[in-house]
Amino acid sequence: MQSLLAELRAAVIDPDAGPVRRRQAARQLARLADAGVPGADPADWWGLTAPSTDEPVETTPVRVNPSKVNRVRECALRALLERTAPSSAMAMGSAFHRITEILGDVDIEDAEQALRDAIPELTDEPAWRLAPLIEEWARALHAWRSWEGTQNVVGMEVDVRVPLGDDIVLTGRIDRLAGHPRDPSKLTIVDIKTGKAVSKDDAEADAQLATYQLALALGRLIDGPDGPVIGPDPTRGSEGGNGGGDGGDGGGGNGAHAPDASILGGATLVYPRDPLSGGDPKTRLQAARTGEQLEEWADVVTGVAAALRGPGAIATPGKHCEFCTVRLACPAKEGAR
């Protein structure tokens, strides 16, 4: 019955369907509604009912975490409704991140042992899978340490809290900030990934990295109680922007959107569990954004903040619907609910 209702409803609102077909579909729906079939009466159609509230979902300033930007751009409704259930893969990734943080304080052997001890607690893999899994993660830890040793790390787990205009705050945490190898005035953003490497094109377009580049260019590296953090830059308040710093890198800006591209050394994704043949982690780079690109991205992030603020949230169907856990409640997926 649900699929029949969905087909009739789709026909009624299909502008490409002829008037005869639309009238017939409407007539059948009316008959089903008279018979009391749930979902046949347009009063039950979620897409046609009035919003239950016009209150914003998020209060101002809206906090935008760079890790959410891509999901909101794909589908605002899913980003608003979906809650990610904890998984053993997420727990393993978190444990790996924590253990990389202590590498500077303990021997690699002790860090590796901590990782080996943690894995059986975090995964429900069968025993025959556990031993190779532990070896794989141990190799990843060594690969990461070896790669990190080539970097001039200036900050670890760097908190980010930077305003974008008056109504938005970019908040998150950068795994590592490193000095640029050829230009000491620039900083590179490093993100540890515990999955398989994405394509070079996907890394270049990565929304999370691009948003962290924007935050770094809008803010300032300052000393926090637990190390460096990226906070507001008082010289780039809502009235005082300098339009892209001394680098002349475009992006005249309007004060609130006046990122300074001159500090950016780009960003790197590091994949310790996806090594090259020699054992080093694969890496993927995102080029340093120019002032003009930052201005454009600030507009994208402003749109994301508006979507998060609500109260409306647009359902945007696409390939991502395949993995959407709220599709049963989605007005864009006929017959799904």
Query: 325: phi > 0 → left, psi -120 to 50 → alpha, else beta; which?
Result: alpha
Residues interacting with ligand SF4, by CB under 6 A? 75, 77-78, 315-317, 320-321, 324, 326-327, 330, 332-333
Are 97 and 175 contacting, i.e. CB atoms less than 8 angstroms apart?
yes
User: In the bound complex, what is the minimum distance in angstroms from residue 168's beta carbon to ligand SF4?
Assistant: 23
Nearer to ligand SF4 among residue 64 and residue 324 (C-beta): 324
Which lies closer to ligand SF4 via its Cβ, residue 78 or residue 186?
A: 78
Reported as type and span, the H/E element at residue 266 is strand 264-275
Distance of closest approach, residue 318 Cβ to ligand SF4, in angstroms: 7
Distance of closest approach, residue 80 Cβ to ligand SF4, in angstroms: 9
Is the CB of 308 or the CB of 330 nearer to ligand SF4?
A: 330
CA 294, CA 302: separation in Å to the nearest integer?
12
Q: Closest approach of Cβ 333 to ligand SF4, in Å?
A: 5
Q: How far is the CB of 29 from ligand SF4 (least distance, A)?
A: 23
Cβ closest to ligand SF4, residue 49 vs residue 325: 325
Tokens found for residue 70: 């891509």
Closer of 304 and 321 to ligand SF4 (Cβ): 321
Q: Tell me how far apart the alpha carbons of residues 191 and 158 are, in angstroms, rounded to a whole number.
A: 11
Residue that is written with structure tokens 């046609």 in the block? 48
Closer residue to ligand SF4, CB minimum distance, 99 or 324: 324
* Listed residue (307, 62, 71) closest to 171, CA to CA: 62
Work out how close the CB of 70 gets to ligand SF4 at its nearest, in angstroms, rounded to a whole number. 12
One-character DSSP codes across 122-186: H----HHHHHHHHHHHHHHHHHHHHHHTTS-EEEEEEEEEEEETTTEEEEEEEEEEEE-SS-TT-
The tokens 């990934």 sit on which residue?
A: 193
Nearer to ligand SF4, 92 or 315 (CB): 315
| Pairwise CA distance, residues 117 & 189, whole Å | 30
Least spacing, CB of residue 328 vs ligand SF4, in Å = 9
Task: Report the length, in residues, of the chain.
Answer: 337
**Using an 8 Å Cβ cutoff, are 119 and 139 in contact?**
no
Measured from the CB atom, the residue of 97 and 327 that comes closer to ligand SF4 is 327
Least distance CB 83 / ligand SF4 (angstroms) = 13
DSSP of 278-326: TSPEEEEEEPPPPHHHHHHHHHHHHHHHHHHH-S------SGGGGG-TT
